[in-house]
Amino acid sequence: MKKILAVLLSVIIAFSLSLSIFAQAESDECHCGNIPVIFVTGFAYTELVANAGTEEEYGAFGVETEAITDMIKRLILPLFGLILTGNYDKFAHTLSAEVNDLFYDASCDVNGNPNNPTVDIEIYEPPSPYHFRNTRTVFRYDWRKDVFDIAAELNDYIEETKRLTGHSKVALRAESMGGAVTMAYLYAYGYDSVETVVMQSSAFEGIEMMTSLFVGDLTLDPKSVMNYVGNFLEGNTADMVFYRALYNTFAALAFNPIVKFLDTALISKIKDVVYEDCIKSLFGYIPGIWAFVSEDSYEEAKEFMLDEEVNAELIKKIDKYHYEVMNCKEEIIEDAMANGVNFAIISNYGKAAVPLGSQSTNMSDFLIDTKHTSMGATCADYGQTLGEGYVQKINDGHNHVSPDNVIDASTCAFPEITWFVKDMMHTWYSDGYHEFVYTLIYTPGQETIHTFPQYPQFMLNNQETEALEPLTKENSDTQSTDVDFVALFELLAASTEK
Ligand SMILES: [Zn+2]
Ligand SMILES: [Zn+2]
């Protein structure tokens, strides 16, 4: 009897549940005026875990501090062995075995499929019916997958969001790798469901640092390493200016010998073995990473990292993105805009690039080169300017040269819809940055760099106020080493009084 009751009860519950779902599906169009915003995240935004969803869950992408320090401890003896014997090959094999262990769970086979099938993203945030102003739902994915596979998941996410919210269109905030995913989505699924796309430090043109890794260009330059670490000295407060002055004076003394040793005495001698033993199979077989290889070096990278026969299936996958999306990105954006999609491209600069490879002097946002996130700006190298008397390359009747004479936006594919934020780390957004993006999203129609006086083409991310402000000649010197000793002592006095 109890059993029959239980069955009856569950049938009633199931029936009423399906009714409520049915009611939701038929919900009326929403006219709240707040378009649902979906945040298309970037590479490694969501952690990968092995044994996902069980009690034996653990981090699968070996970048946890503990795993790395343990590995370094195990490498101390082999390093002494290397110094004593000079046997570089032996050390290279030992190092590769350690790195293979560290990354095995996240690695893929020759066809680009996961080696460990229990690995998945740690958190998945489903589409939501809620779409309050200035909020977004977060689209997370397994970033090892091929960009087109992720784009298919994004399509499902968008369709479900439309159904749940009662809106026929959504807005996309796409950051970093999410920019590549969004381009593949637009190409494969069209423009009907999207009202606005904001590209935030997008990787749609690749990243020089990853390209260097994939063509075997592992050169290290002491000056670039020094600049990269110096990226963290931000702002113009008296103490920061003092630290910067100290750093610029003394850092080279430490970096020069260490980096030169790594570059000439170590990396160049173990490189070949390490590539064959681990770099090619660990990173080259992950389809998603191929989205970061730039257009110009793609063929060279494929030849260097992969085998035409062994990796045939993987090559077929990554070719599709490179030939049909990355190589045609201008056409895709033009077509999207012609079909009513509002587009904005935001690019950051003022940071030194990752110090790997011959392009490490590029102007960057700390991870991606500014010339790539902006689709073609002419940029001075980090710490340099375009030179006295520089004349904008393409004269379209507007000024497109930044007040600090570092960026010429006239060579961008879309100069009128490309904004630049100085002193913003890749995706470490400030409050002012979010405000700007939501202004773009909630203002109807296609905005340009001429629409808002407070948001011109070139802006500064103010380190003290977290606000964006128009960049001027006056506020653009953010690398001052002119120490104000009176202000510095006042700061010191104030801190000792406390
Ligand atoms: Zn609504
Ligand atoms: Zn113009």
Closest ligand relative to 167 C-alpha: 1
**Using one digit for the tens of pLDDT, what is the confidence trace for 301-348?**
999 999 999 999 999 999 999 999 999 999 999 999 999 999 999 999
Contact present, 183 and 204 (Cβ < 8 Å): yes
Query: What would the mean pLDDT of 397-407 be, rounded to a whole number?
Result: 97
Contact present, 469 and 459 (Cβ < 8 Å): yes
Q: Which of 313, 349, 343 is nearest to 329 (CA)?
A: 343
Rounded to an integer, what distance in angstroms lies between the CA atom of residue 313 and that of residue 338?
A: 35
Closest ligand relative to 132 C-alpha: 1
| Strand pairing report for 120-121 and 418-422 | unpaired
Tell me what the pLDDT averaged over the chain comes to: 92
pLDDT at 182 > cutoff 60 = yes
- AA letter at 268: S
Confidence of residue 265 (pLDDT cuts 50, 70, 90): confident
Distance from residue 345's CA to the centre of ligand 1 (Å) = 25
pLDDT at 1 > cutoff 50 = no
Distance from residue 323's CA to the centre of ligand 2 (Å) = 29
Rounded to an integer, what distance in angstroms lies between the CA atom of residue 462 and that of residue 107?
A: 40
Query: What would the mean pLDDT of 100-129 be, rounded to a whole number?
Result: 95
Closest ligand relative to 409 C-alpha: 2
pLDDT given at position 6? 52
pLDDT given at position 68? 85
Flag the least confident range among 54-58, 163-167, 427-431.
54-58
Distance from residue 448's CA to the centre of ligand 2 (Å) = 10
Distance from residue 395's CA to the centre of ligand 2 (Å) = 8
pLDDT given at position 10? 55
Distance from residue 132's CA to the centre of ligand 1 (Å) = 8
pLDDT at 15 > cutoff 50 = no
Confidence of residue 62 (pLDDT cuts 50, 70, 90): low
pLDDT given at position 386? 98
pTM for the model: 0.91
Radius of gyration for the alpha carbons in the chain, expressed in angstroms and rounded: 25
Distance from residue 40's CA to the centre of ligand 1 (Å) = 20
pLDDT given at position 315? 98
Distance from residue 36's CA to the centre of ligand 1 (Å) = 7
Query: What would the mean pLDDT of 418-428 be, rounded to a whole number?
Result: 97
Confidence of residue 435 (pLDDT cuts 50, 70, 90): very high
Flag the least confident range among 27-31, 103-107, 274-278, 486-490.
27-31
Closest ligand relative to 34 C-alpha: 1
Distance from residue 416's CA to the centre of ligand 2 (Å) = 5
Distance from residue 32's CA to the centre of ligand 1 (Å) = 4
Closest ligand relative to 166 C-alpha: 1
pLDDT given at position 367? 97
Closest ligand relative to 397 C-alpha: 2
**Using one digit for the tens of pLDDT, what is the confidence trace for 81-97?**
998 999 999 999 999 99
Distance from residue 201's CA to the centre of ligand 1 (Å) = 28
Backbone angles phi, psi at 108, to 5 degrees: -125, 165
Distance from residue 377's CA to the centre of ligand 2 (Å) = 13
Secondary structure (3-state) at 348: strand
Closest ligand relative to 128 C-alpha: 1
Distance from residue 207's CA to the centre of ligand 2 (Å) = 26
Distance from residue 452's CA to the centre of ligand 2 (Å) = 15
Confidence of residue 8 (pLDDT cuts 50, 70, 90): low
**Using one digit for the tens of pLDDT, what is the confidence trace for 208-229?**
999 999 999 999 999 999 999 9
Closest ligand relative to 449 C-alpha: 2
Query: What would the mean pLDDT of 353-365 be, rounded to a whole number?
Result: 96
Which residues, 6+ apart, have CB-to-CB distance to 28 below 8 Å? 166
Contact present, 468 and 430 (Cβ < 8 Å): yes
Distance from residue 198's CA to the centre of ligand 1 (Å) = 20
pLDDT given at position 117? 94
Biggest CA–CA distance in the chain, Å, is: 92
pLDDT given at position 125? 95
**Using one digit for the tens of pLDDT, what is the confidence trace for 444-480?**
999 999 999 999 999 999 999 999 999 999 999 998 8
Backbone angles phi, psi at 432, to 5 degrees: -60, -35
Closest ligand relative to 30 C-alpha: 1
**Using one digit for the tens of pLDDT, what is the confidence trace for 196-210?**
999 999 999 999 999
Confidence of residue 405 (pLDDT cuts 50, 70, 90): very high
Distance from residue 363's CA to the centre of ligand 2 (Å) = 22
Distance from residue 166's CA to the centre of ligand 1 (Å) = 7
How is residue 411 annotated by DSSP?
G
pLDDT given at position 495? 84
Distance from residue 25's CA to the centre of ligand 1 (Å) = 15
pLDDT at 19 > cutoff 60 = no
Closest ligand relative to 165 C-alpha: 1
pLDDT given at position 24? 46
**Using one digit for the tens of pLDDT, what is the confidence trace for 267-312?**
999 999 999 999 999 999 999 999 999 999 999 999 999 999 999 9
Distance from residue 182's CA to the centre of ligand 1 (Å) = 23
Distance from residue 164's CA to the centre of ligand 1 (Å) = 10
% of the chain surpassing 70 pLDDT: 94
Closest ligand relative to 457 C-alpha: 2
Distance from residue 33's CA to the centre of ligand 1 (Å) = 6
Distance from residue 131's CA to the centre of ligand 1 (Å) = 6
Backbone angles phi, psi at 183, to 5 degrees: -65, -40
Confidence of residue 22 (pLDDT cuts 50, 70, 90): very low
Secondary structure (3-state) at 141: coil
